[in-house]
Structure 1
Amino acid sequence: MAQDTLYATEKSLIAPFSFDEEVVAVFPDMIERSVPGYSLLLPLIGQIAARYAQSHSRCYDLGCSLGAVTLVMRQQIKQEGCRITAVDNAPAMIEQCRTIFAPDGGSIPVDLVEVDISQVPIEQASVVVLNFTLQFLPPAQRDALIQRIFDGLLPGGALILSEKVIFEPAELDELLVRLHHDFKRANGYSELEISQKRTALENVLIAETVPQHQARLRRAGFASADLWFQTFNFVSLLAIK
Structure 2
Amino acid sequence: MSDASYRDAIFSTPLDRVARFSFDEKVVACFPDMIRRSVPGYGQILGMLGLIAARHLRHGAHVYDLGCSLGAAGLALAGTLPPSAFRYTGVDLSPAMVTRAQKTLAAECPDHAMEVHEGDIRTLAYDPAGMIVLNFTLQFLAPEERDAVIDQLFQALEPGGVLVLSEKIKAADEQENAWLVERYHDFKRANGYSDMEISQKRTALENVLVPDTLAGHHERLTRAGFSRAHTWYQFLNFASLIAFKDADALAPQEA
- Measured in 2, the distance between the counterparts of 1:124 and 1:79 equals 19
Alpha-carbon deviations, 1:133-177, whole Å to 9, x = none? 000011111111101110111111000000000002111111110
Structure 1 equivalent of residue 46 of structure 2? 42
Given that 2:164 and 2:242 are in contact with CA atoms closer than 8 Å, whether structure 1 keeps it comes out as yes
In the superposition, relative to structure 1, how do residues 218 and 229 fare at CA in structure 2: closer, same or farther (>3 Å)? same
Counterpart check, 1:219 vs 2:219:
no
The answer for the alignment partner of 1:92 in structure 2 is 96
Report the AA paired with residue 190 of structure 1: S
Q: Does 1:183 align with 2:187?
A: yes
State the Cα distance separating 1:121 from its structure 2 match.
2.2
Do 1:53 and 1:79's aligned partners in 2 also have CA atoms closer than 8 Å?
no
Could you list the runs of 5+ residues in structure 1 that have no partner in the other structure? Answer: none
Q: Confirm whether residue 174 of structure 1 aligns to residue 178 of structure 2.
A: yes
Task: Name the residue aligned to 2:252.
Answer: none
Does residue 1:239 correspond to 2:243, yes or no? yes
Q: Which amino acid aligns with 1:142?
A: R
* Aligned-residue RMSD, C-alpha: 1.3
SS of the residue corresponding to residue 59 of structure 1 reads strand
Query: Which amino acid letter does the alignment assign opposite residue 64 of structure 1?
Result: C
How many correspondences in the alignment? 241
Question: Mean alpha-carbon deviation: is it higher for 103-112 or for 155-164?
Answer: 103-112
Aligned position for 1:120: 124
| Alignment equivalent of 1:164, drawn from 168, 172, 176 | 168
Q: Is there any run of 5+ residues in structure 2 with no aligned partner, and where?
A: 246-255
Per-residue deviation at 1:76?
1.9
**Residue identity in the other structure for 2:237:** N
Between stretches 75-84 and 149-158, larger displacement belongs to 75-84
- For 2:101 and 2:69, how far apart are their aligned partners in 1? 8
How far, CA to CA, are the matches of 1:27 and 1:40 in structure 2? 17
1:71 Cα deviation after fit: 0.9
Following superposition, the deviation at residue 106 of structure 1 comes to: 5.1
Aligned to 2:105: 101
Distance 1:235 1:18 in 2: 22
Q: Percent identity?
A: 48
Deviates most, 114-123 or 5-14: 114-123
CA distance in 1, matches of 2:26, 2:86: 34
Contact 2:83/2:113, CA 8 A, preserved across alignment: no
Structure 2 residue identity aligned to 1:69: A
